[in-house]
Amino acid sequence: MEHWDIYNINREKTDKTMVRGNKIENGDFHLVVHACIFNSSGQMLIQKRQPFKTGWSGMWDLSVGGSAVSGDTSAKAIERELFEELGFEIDLSGVRPHLTINFDGAFDDIYLINRDIDISSLKLQYEEVETVKWARSDEICKMIDEGIFIPYYKNYIKLLFDMRHNYGAADIK
């Protein structure tokens, strides 16, 4: 049974937790994390979710995502998710997410990682990930149009590609 820490609207941890799968109460929030891994060819590693997985089953998605479990920091949660889903180890201590997206009941921290990874060396978590591949921004947007990629805003996908080398919203080199 997975437990999540509960945060208030100001992203301050409360003394409450909840069990995954239970309805989150109005005014409560939990922490979600995503990582997008980019290679030096300007492609993002994407994963195809298992067809039997609940929620967006059989669809392509960003590199890795999940919820922080009770006691996790944002960085520790994404390190754990990267290892669980892909068998990829990385130390993100002292690293901030590139952006946070707010949605009903959650804060979603997005980490953008630049790393050339040999995908044949990854150890995919059978329960979560069917396969992975590298894809360009335009390929992902086409997959969204085809209904085979989670229907993120296409401008969001483009933003992830644009922000992969820097923090902030300005193109400062």
Q: How confident is the model at residue 145 (pLDDT cuts 50, 70, 90)?
A: very high
Is residue 169 over pLDDT 90? Answer: no
State how far the Cα of 133 lies from the Cα of 143, in Å rounded to an integer.
Answer: 13
How many other CB atoms are found less than 10 A from the CB of residue 127?
A: 10
- Could you give the count of Cα atoms lying within 13 Å of 88 in the half-sphere of its Cβ? 25
Is 172 a residue whose pLDDT tops 80? no
User: How many Å is the maximal CA-CA distance in the chain?
Assistant: 45
**Predicted TM-score (pTM) of this structure:** 0.94
DSSP label of 143: H
Cα atoms found within 13 Å of the Cα of residue 95, Cβ hemisphere only: 18
- Predicted confidence at residue 25, as pLDDT, reads 85
Q: Is residue 44 classed exposed, middle or buried when 0-12, 13-18 and 19+ CB atoms within 10 A define those classes?
A: buried
